[in-house]
């Protein structure tokens, strides 16, 4: 019989138990004890089916879960609740959601090996040298920045369709020769592991799968460092050019988890390269031209990031946006109230960067530089180009860059 005293310390806490594809047989004794003592078992229908019938009331997750979860927990307040989760509940799992909702002191987590640890064990890969990409509820394009020569990726699938979609992305990017392994039902009696190349991948896949990718060594490089080639973007000419972009982003100083406003988004290059710095970097691009806004979204998808585009004229369109950690004004700096609005919205420690190529914008920048200080530089870029049968330098328009920290 389970020792009730061992559970007394957790009597008022919700417990989350990680369950593998092997179900009850794979649970440790402590996890079995918690499940056996629960008055309410919550989880997906698949997870609940892995547990032997007992005294607990079983509650299958409704859809959408995020909206229903607070009310569902409130309805069972005062009862001993055990939530079943896939693998490690705090690794892209509901354990993190519950902790955020209830607080760490109210949630006990008993983890099971994650699908990533099981996949790495099957593939013989060191976990600390693997990039994990979750496509569960996320756009397919998020895998793009991680496709680099020689990189090892473990992709968490959203369903049976994911392997074929990821294989196509790899092939389209010139990585069709990458080693491509699909691991299904890891840890269960029905486990299956199949390897081929991305270009050759085909076949039926179980919904419960992860993908191991060893990227080809000779694939094309599209770095996550600032300054992608201008040719990486679809543009009508409203594009911050490569050299200027690299300097501008160095002044914006992307930090994981922070938010950028890209005012006058154009082709979206600043917002996109800010977002490519780290998966948790977020960006909002404000663009008043609908064609450019659509083009910006296409560029973001092609380069593997999610950039929220806001169609409207700044500064009016900035009113309801979340306060930013950095603001780039690449167009429309001379609009009435633009600099004031952006400066006021910035969080303490936030960075404001304004680029100008016209005399009017330079005059505005000089005035604000005199008032707020910061750093002021002027870039003159020249590119080699043919002059008859020889080569000479052709200058681009000089760009003035003002940056200041709040």
* Distance from C-alpha of 299 to C-alpha of 311, rounded to nearest angstrom: 16
Whether 179 and 197 have beta carbons less than 8 Å apart is answered as yes
Give dist(CA 283, CA 261) in Å, integer.
6
Q: pLDDT, tens digit, for every residue of 149-190?
A: 999 999 999 999 999 999 999 999 999 999 999 999 999 999
Number of Cα atoms under 13 Å in the Cβ half of residue 203: 18
Q: Where are the beta strands (DSSP E) in 53-178?
A: 57-60, 81-86, 107-110, 131-134, 152-156
Separation of alpha carbons 20 and 24, rounded Å: 8
Residue by residue, pLDDT tens for the chain (406 residues) are 344 433 334 445 799 999 998 899 999 999 999 999 999 999 999 999 999 988 899 999 988 887 888 888 888 888 999 999 989 999 888 999 999 888 888 899 999 999 999 999 999 999 999 999 999 988 998 999 999 999 999 999 999 999 999 999 999 999 999 999 999 999 999 999 999 999 999 988 999 999 999 999 999 999 999 999 999 999 998 899 999 999 999 999 999 999 999 999 999 999 999 999 998 999 999 999 999 999 999 999 999 999 999 999 999 999 999 999 999 999 889 999 999 999 999 999 999 999 999 999 999 999 999 999 999 999 999 999 999 999 999 999 999 999 999 9
Ramachandran category for residue 312: left, alpha or beta (phi over 0 → left; psi -120 to 50 → alpha)? left
* Degrees, nearest 5: CA angle 111-113-118: 165
DSSP-based three-state secondary structure for 182: strand
**Measuring CA to CA, which residue among 124, 117, 121, 115 is closest to residue 85?**
115
The span from the CA of 386 to the CA of 248, in Å, is: 29
- Domain boundary assignment for the chain: 12-113, 116-214, 230-405
Domain topology for 116-214: 3.30.950
CATH architecture of 12-113: 3-Layer(aba) Sandwich (3.40)
Which CATH class, in words, describes the domain spanning 230-405? alpha beta
Distances from the Cα of 75 to the Cα of 98, 113, 279, angstroms:
15, 31, 36
Domain 116-214 and domain 230-405 have a common topology? no
Rounded CA separation 328/275 (Å): 13
- Encode pLDDT of 215-253 as tens digits: 999 999 999 999 999 999 999 988 999 999 999 999 999
Indicate the pTM of the whole model.
0.83
């Amino acid at each position: 019989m389970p020792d009730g005293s061992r559970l007394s310390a957790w009597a008022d806490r919700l417990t989350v138990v990680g369950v593998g594809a092997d179900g009850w047989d794979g649970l440790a004794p402590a996890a079995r004890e918690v499940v056996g003592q629960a008055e309410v078992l919550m989880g997906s229908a698949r997870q609940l089916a892995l547990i032997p019938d007992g005294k607990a009331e079983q509650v299958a997750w409704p859809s959408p879960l995020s909206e229903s979860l607070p009310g569902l927990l409130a309805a069972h307040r005062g009862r001993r609740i055990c939530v079943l989760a896939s693998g490690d509940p705090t690794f892209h799992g509901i354990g993190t959601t519950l902790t955020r909702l209830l607080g760490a002191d109210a949630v006990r987590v008993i983890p099971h090996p994650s699908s990533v640890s099981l996949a790495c064990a099957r593939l013989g890969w060191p976990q600390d040298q693997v990039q994990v990409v979750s496509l569960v509820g996320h756009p397919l394009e998020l895998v793009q920045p991680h496709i680099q020569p020689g990189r090892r990726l473990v992709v968490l699938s959203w369903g049976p369709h994911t392997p074929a979609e990821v294989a196509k992305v790899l092939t389209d990017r010139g990585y069709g020769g990458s080693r491509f392994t699909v691991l299904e039902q890891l840890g269960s009696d029905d486990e299956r592991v199949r390897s081929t190349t991305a270009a050759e991948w085909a076949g039926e896949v179980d919904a419960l799968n992860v993908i191991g990718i060893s990227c080809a060594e000779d694939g094309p490089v599209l770095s996550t460092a600032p300054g992608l080639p201008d040719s990486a973007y679809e543009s009508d000419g409203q594009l911050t050019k490569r050299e200027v972009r690299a300097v501008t982003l160095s002044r914006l100083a992307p930090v994981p988890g922070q938010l950028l406003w890209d005012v006058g988004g154009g082709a979206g290059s600043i917002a996109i390269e800010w977002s490519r710095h780290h998966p948790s970097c977020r960006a909002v691009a404000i663009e008043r031209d609908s064609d450019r806004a659509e083009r910006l979204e296409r560029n973001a998808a092609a380069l593997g990031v999610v950039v929220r585009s806001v169609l409207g004229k700044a500064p009016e369109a900035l009113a309801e946006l979340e306060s930013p950690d950095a603001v780039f004004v690449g167009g429309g700096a001379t609009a009435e109230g633009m600099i004031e609005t952006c400066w006021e919205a910035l969080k303490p420690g936030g960075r404001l960067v304004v680029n100008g190529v016209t005399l009017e914008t330079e005059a505005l920048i000089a005035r604000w530089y005199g008032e707020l200080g910061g750093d002021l530089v002027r870039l003159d870029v020249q590119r080699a180009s043919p002059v008859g049968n020889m080569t000479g330098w052709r200058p681009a328009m000089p760009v003035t860059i003002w940056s200041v920290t709040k």
